[in-house]
Amino acid sequence: MQGGVFKITGKKKARIEIIPLIDVIFFLLATFVLFTLSLHSLSSVPVQLPFSGPPPVNPPRILKLQISDGDTVYFDGDPTAMKDLRYRLTSYQKQYPKDTRVLITTDEKALFGQAVAVLDEIRLLNIDQVSIDTSKTYQTGR
């Protein structure tokens, strides 16, 4: 510095420092090595998974009973009076003796007592495979 004048020697170039880069690479390498070594010590519980074979040739038929308001039960879509339900169930059971499966659905106007009466008729005929559809229906405007 002579007489208040700075001497500019030139522009400094940017440099890439290799040492910190090597440190990061070695850290990542050590992390992956330790991780792969810890995978060997993991153990699992032996589980026998179910086998899924081909679909059945004749899938079982499901009888759909829909309980509505009043004295009407829809037997696979056909309206049937409650007093005729036992006869229809008996004839259905004779027609499909091996797999008698029943699915019960109701509409929003059906009473609980009607559902219990239908279940009693099914129970009296010793039909064991009964399902009840419990899907929720949403009404708009309420």
Phi, then psi, of 130 in degrees rounded to 5: -125, 130
Domain annotation for the chain: domains and CATH numbers: 62-132 (3.30.420.270)
* 29-86 pLDDT tens trace: 999 988 888 776 667 788 888 888 887 777 778 889 998 877 788 998 899 888 888 9
C-alpha angle with apex 131: 129 to 137, nearest 5 degrees? 170
pLDDT on residue 24: 93
pLDDT on residue 2: 55
**The model scores a pTM over 0.75:** no
Q: How many CA atoms lie within 13 A of 137 on its CB side?
A: 7
> pLDDT tier at 140 (50, 70, 90 boundaries)?
low
Q: At residue 141, does pLDDT exceed 60?
A: no
pLDDT on residue 62: 87
Q: What is the DSSP string of 31-86?
A: HHHHHHHHHTT-------PPP--PPPSSPPPEEEEEE-STTEEEETTEEEEGGGHH
Q: Which long-range contacts does 59-62 make (Cβ < 8 Å, 24+ apart)? A: 60/99, 60/101, 61/96, 61/99, 61/101, 62/101, 62/102, 62/103, 62/131
* 11-28 pLDDT tens trace: 778 888 888 889 999 999
* 113-126 pLDDT tens trace: 888 889 998 999 88
pLDDT on residue 142: 44
